[in-house]
Amino acid sequence: MTTTTATAEADRRTVSGSTPGAARGPRRTGRIRRIGLPYLLLLPALVLELLVHLVPMVIGILMSFKALTRFSIREWGAAPWSGLDNYKVSVDINAPAGEALLHSFWVTCGFTVLSVGLCWLLGTAAAIFLQDTFRGRGLLRTLFLVPYALPVYTAVITWAFMFQHDNGLVNHVLHDQLGLTDKPSFWLIGDNSFIALLTVSVWKGWPFAFLVVMAGLQNIPKELYEAAALDGAGMWQQIRRITLPSLRPVNQVLVLVLFLWTFNDFNTPYVLFGKAAPEAADLISIHVYQTTFATWNFGTGSAMSVLLLLFLLVVTGLYLLLTSRRRKTADV
């Protein structure tokens, strides 16, 4: 049966191949299949990507050049153009809007550096610690991943309860049980709110670093450590000379992803503090949200979002340029 079909197929090919004028047909179909198919397969994803990301981005950029307020929001397509006014308002640090944006920018920078640094440090330390096999390692690995697996809202609202002044667990432990503070502290208002925000962010973010570094560690050949041990290298030397350099490509991506997620984090401050974050924890994402939706300055909010996007693009570009150059130098 198979032979018959194969013969028939071969015959058909011969016939069509011998037909004058149709000589290019099969070859062309083959080429289309070979070169065009991957593009065709990519097309649905490309279209979706454009719809989900590019279209809103273009609309956002357009909005940033419009005088978009409560009066024009319904017919935003027809709102009057305002040129660069929204950008001027956003960057004028001598005026209230620009001054407040700059303040939240610095808060966000400090928060991001600390959060990413701590996430990386904790994640890497935990991953290295769990490299050795010991009883209970599987359980610990699962436990460490719990914060990553929990829905963000549930986790953060639980933290909000724990940080409450009167009935919160944090004050209960720090003040009532350990006696570390003179009186119960405020964590959700005032200056301490920055520490509360950082704590939740690190708690939420480090399991991802742990997961990625752990995967990276699997790729380092054991022989390297064995050879180093034979040469008399201690644990610290092994970590410094073998582990960290081998993890560099993994870390490069990890730090970038953590940076982007943390800098743009909206859920954590919004669930912890609501739509008006305390000044000390006024992250830029919340600030832009407040400008846009709470005070209904949609055009200015869009301009601030575009500025944020540009900043992140520049930082990401510089980071990739620097890290790839360093890797090339290292390869040489």
Q: Where are the alpha helices (DSSP H) in the chain?
A: 2-18, 24-31, 37-49, 55-64, 85-91, 96-129, 137-149, 152-162, 169-171, 193-218, 222-230, 235-238, 244-263, 267-273, 284-289, 298-331
Q: What is the 3-state secondary structure (H, E, C) of 128-139?
A: HHCCCCCCCHHH
Question: Given candidates 278, 287, 303, 306, which one binds other proteins under the rule CB under 8 A?
Answer: 278
Cα torsion 292, 259, 48, 307 to 10°: value is 40
Question: Given candidates 294, 313, 318, 322, which one binds other proteins under the rule CB under 8 A?
Answer: 294
Residue with tokens 């001598």: 94
Q: Is 190 in the site for other proteins (CB under 8 A)?
A: yes
Judged by CB under 8 A, the stretch of 208-216, 245-253, 276-284, 310-318 that binds other proteins is 276-284
Query: What residues contact residue 297 under an 8 Å CB cut-off, 6+ apart?
Result: 68, 69, 291
Closer residue to other proteins, CB minimum distance, 103 or 141: 103
Q: What is the 3-state secondary structure (H, E, C) of 244-267?
A: HHHHHHHHHHHHHHHHHHHHCCCH
Q: Is 23 in the site for other proteins (CB under 8 A)?
A: no
CA distance 217 to 212: 9
Q: Is 297 in the site for other proteins (CB under 8 A)?
A: yes
The least distance separating other proteins from the CB of residue 283, rounded to whole angstroms, comes to 15
The least distance separating other proteins from the CB of residue 39, rounded to whole angstroms, comes to 6
Q: Which amino acid is at 18?
A: S
Judged by CB under 8 A, the stretch of 15-23, 102-110, 216-224, 293-301 that binds other proteins is 293-301
The least distance separating other proteins from the CB of residue 173, rounded to whole angstroms, comes to 17
Closer residue to other proteins, CB minimum distance, 165 or 172: 165
Intra-chain end-to-end CA distance of the chain, in Å: 60
Site string for other proteins, 146-185 (x = CB under 8 A): ------------------xxx-------------------
Q: Is 275 in the site for other proteins (CB under 8 A)?
A: yes
Q: Is 293 in the site for other proteins (CB under 8 A)?
A: yes
Site string for other proteins, 48-87 (x = CB under 8 A): --xx--xx---x---------xxx-xxxxxx---------
Q: Are 191 and 280 in contact (CB under 8 A)?
A: yes
Binding site for other proteins (CB under 8 A): 31-32, 35-36, 39-40, 43, 46-47, 50-51, 54-55, 59, 69-71, 73-78, 95-97, 100, 164-166, 186, 188-191, 273-276, 278-279, 290, 293-297
